[in-house]
Amino acid sequence: MPPSVTESEVFLAFSTYATIVILKMMLMSPITSYFRFTRKSFANNEDTGMAKSPEQKKKMLVANPDVERVRRCHQNDLENIVPFVVIGLLYALTGPELSSALLHFRVFVGSRLCHTVAYLLPLPQPSRALSWVLDSGEEDHQ
C-alpha cells in the first residue's frame, strides 16, 4: 500500500517546521510578560494590584516602548505564521519535490527567526525588512 499523504516526507518536514515557528510565536507571550513585569507596564487596571499609590497605579498603565515592541513582533508573527501554516499545508498536499519543499520551509523558518532577532534587539534596518521580504515571499512561492 502506498504511504498516505500524512506519512510522506514532505508532510513530516512541514509538520516539523510549522511546529518550530508556532512554538517561536508562542514564546512571544512569556517574553511580553517578562517585559511587562520588569518595566512595570500593564494593560488592565486589575493588573496593577501591587501599586502602592494611585500615582504608581497610573504610571503602571502607561504603555512601555519595550513591551509594545514585543507585542508588534508577536502581531507580525500572527500576520505571517498563520498564513504559512495554511498555505504550507495546502502546498504539502500537492505532493511537491522534497528538496524544493525543504528549501521553502527552511527559508521561511530561518527568515522568521531573523525577523524576531532583528525586531527584539533591535538590529538596524534593513535587517528586519529583508527578513520579512524573504518570508512573505516564501508564502507567495509555495
Ligand X SMILES: N[C@@H](CCC(=O)N[C@@H](CS)C(=O)NCC(=O)O)C(=O)O
Closest CA to 135 of 37, 34, 17, 48: 17
Q: What residues from 92 to 111 belong to the interface with ligand X (CB under 6 A)?
A: none
Q: Does 32 bind ligand X (CB under 6 A)?
A: no
- Taking the alpha carbons at both ends of the chain, their separation in whole angstroms is 28
* Interaction between residue 123 and ligand X (CB under 6 A): no
Kindly state the number of chain residues that form the binding site for ligand X, as judged by CB under 6 A.
6
Give the footprint of ligand X on residues 69-88 (CB under 6 A).
72, 76, 79
What is the nearest approach in angstroms of ligand X to the Cβ of residue 138?
A: 14
- No. of helices (H) and no. of strands (E), the chain: 5, 0
Q: How far is the CB of 136 from ligand X (least distance, A)?
A: 7
Q: What is the spatial distance between Cα 43 and Cα 37, in angstroms, rounded to a whole number?
A: 11
Instruction: Read off the C-alpha cell for 24.
Output: 517561536
* Among positions 36, 104, 112, 128, the unique one binding ligand X when judged by CB under 6 A: 128
Given the complex with ligand X, which of 95 and 122 has the nearer CB atom? Answer: 122
Cα distances (angstroms) measured from residue 131 to each of 28, 29, 82, 126, 136 = 18, 21, 17, 8, 9
DSSP letter, residue 7: G
Question: Measured from the CB of residue 80, what is the shortest distance to ligand X in angstroms?
Answer: 7
Q: Which stretch binds ligand X (CB under 6 A): 5-13, 59-67, 106-114, 128-136?
A: 128-136
Give, in degrees to the nearest 5, the angle at Cα 138 between 136 and 142.
125
Residues binding ligand X (CB under 6 A): 72, 76, 79, 128-129, 132
